[in-house]
Amino acid sequence: MSGSIDFYFDFSSPYGYFASTQIEALAQRHGRTVIWHPMLLGVAFKTTGGAPLPMVPLKGPYSLHDFERSARFHGIAYRRPAQFPLSTQLAARAMLWVRQTQGDAKAVEFAHAVYRKYFVDGADISQADTIIGVSAALGLDGAAVIEGAGSGSIKEALRTDVDAAIARGVFGSPFMIADDEPFWGFDRFEQLDAFLKNGSI
Amino acid sequence: MSGSIDFYFDFSSPYGYFASTQIEALAQRHGRTVIWHPMLLGVAFKTTGGAPLPMVPLKGPYSLHDFERSARFHGIAYRRPAQFPLSTQLAARAMLWVRQTQGDAKAVEFAHAVYRKYFVDGADISQADTIIGVSAALGLDGAAVIEGAGSGSIKEALRTDVDAAIARGVFGSPFMIADDEPFWGFDRFEQLDAFLKNGSI
């Protein structure tokens, strides 16, 4: 088997961030590549009736604790941002624009930088200023990124991507699909690893 | 540290069943004992706004697949029951009555037997006949179990236990608490193991 792994994530998802730090290494171990798909969980929630974890009674406080504990357990830098959760539409659109104009590698670099900016530095990534700063640090023209992210074609591209993800059954973050086999959650990396190794579970 | 591990589970929860097959061995590795708490997830859902996994769009079909894959991955016998999910009030009450009259060890034996009857044999454990059969196989008087499970004091005991669990933050199955540290999900056994080993994560 040699197909790519589809990696779906929302920029406001801590588990998506954790997964983003390890998905490339996991794929490389099995000679696979990764296709990164920024997702809007809010749209999926309209289908599943879900809600952002921190908003859910009982589950919310537990989740905030589990984010921090899971980060320590896996040795991943993490700090709960002041603004959490937040809108990730701008960050997702910006990533699509970076991909369209600068290619896949730069887009993945951009995704890593946005996640770090949010979950390590605690910046508000829903704000244009933050995205401009992230872009500049990668040698991109921040103003051009914001303008591109706001274009009709990029808005439409994200809408199409998110609808296609939901049509494919993606409802959470992170969500991985390899050879049509779906895996939801950073805590399914072990099964994904076994699946890629053995071709089945 | 030497306190017990509180183990909360709903008899209609596949992940609770998976956990039930391994929680005792996990505890023993760290010189701990386990206190088994049958839970009613339906009551917790009233607080969290949750719903049984199979009923949720997108997440439902994924979950049915994940139950089977996770069982294979962990080498646990599992077959999706025809009736799923179902009411677990009778099974939970019966377990409390077995504990009250026969002691902890028999109650745990009863819990294992109910889970196997449901998730291996596929029987409808919401039915008195099924509980009578499970009881008889353990050398218990099935009619007495059903009568005891229906008594006012047992009904009240389960209500009190479930309310106490929710007050403690328990919202899912399985849910483990060790030294006030909460762990939700069979996929947190690795972290629970590390916590019991090191005293922290």
Q: DSSP assignment of B75-120, as one string?
A: T------SS-S---HHHHHHHHHHHHHH-HHHHHHHHHHHHHHHHT
For residues B186 and B63, the answer to whether their CB atoms sit within 8 Å is: no
B140-164 pLDDT, tens digit each: 999 999 999 999 999 999 999 999 9
B54-112 pLDDT, tens digit each: 889 999 999 999 999 999 999 999 999 999 999 999 999 999 999 999 999 999 999 99
Residues 124-153 of B with CB under 8 A from A: none
Number of CB atoms found within 10 A of residue A124's CB: 15
Residue B157, SS3?
Answer: helix
Nearest chain A residue to B60 by CA distance is A48
Residue type, A70: S
Nearest chain A residue to B172 by CA distance is A59
Q: Which residues pair with A178 in a beta bridge?
A: A5, A181
Given CA atoms B113, B119, B120, B124 in this order, what sign does their dihedral have? Answer: positive
Q: What's the predicted TM-score (pTM) here? A: 0.96
Residues 39-68 of B with CB under 8 A from A: 44, 47-51, 56-59, 61-62, 65-66
Which of B47, B56, B59 is the best mutation test for A, with the most CBs of A within 10 A? B59
Identity of the residue in B48, B70, B194 whose CB atom sits nearest the CB atom of A59: B48
Show the tokens assigned to A173. 């973050």
pLDDT at B1 over 70: no
The average pLDDT across A113-130 equals 98
Q: List the one residue out of B115, B142, B86, B97 whose CA is nearest residue B20.
A: B115
Neighboring chain A residues of B65 at a CB cutoff of 8 Å: 182
From B101's Cα to the closest Cα of chain A, the distance in A is 33
Residues with Cβ within 8 Å of A105's Cβ and at least 6 positions away in sequence, in order, are none
From B50's Cα to the closest Cα of chain A, the distance in A is 8
CA-CA distance, A119 to A46, in Å (whole number)?
25
- Do the interacting molecules here have an ipTM over 0.85? yes
Residue A155, SS3?
Answer: helix
Identity of the residue in B57, B58, B191 whose CB atom sits nearest the CB atom of A73: B191
Neighboring chain A residues of B196 at a CB cutoff of 8 Å: none
Show the tokens assigned to A8. 């779906």
- Please provide the DSSP assignment of B121-152 as one string: S---TTSHHHHHHHHHHTT--HHHHHHHHTSH
A46-105 pLDDT, tens digit each: 988 888 888 899 999 999 999 999 999 999 999 999 999 999 999 999 999 999 999 999
pLDDT value of position B51:
86
Nearest chain B residue to A187 by CA distance is B187
CA-CA distance, B79 to B14, in Å (whole number)?
10
* Distances from the Cα of A3 to the Cα of A6, A28, A33, A166, A178, angstroms: 9, 12, 7, 21, 7
pLDDT value of position B50:
85
Identity of the residue in B48, B62, B170 whose CB atom sits nearest the CB atom of A184: B62
A154-173 pLDDT, tens digit each: 999 999 999 999 999 999 99
Neighboring chain B residues of A190 at a CB cutoff of 8 Å: 73
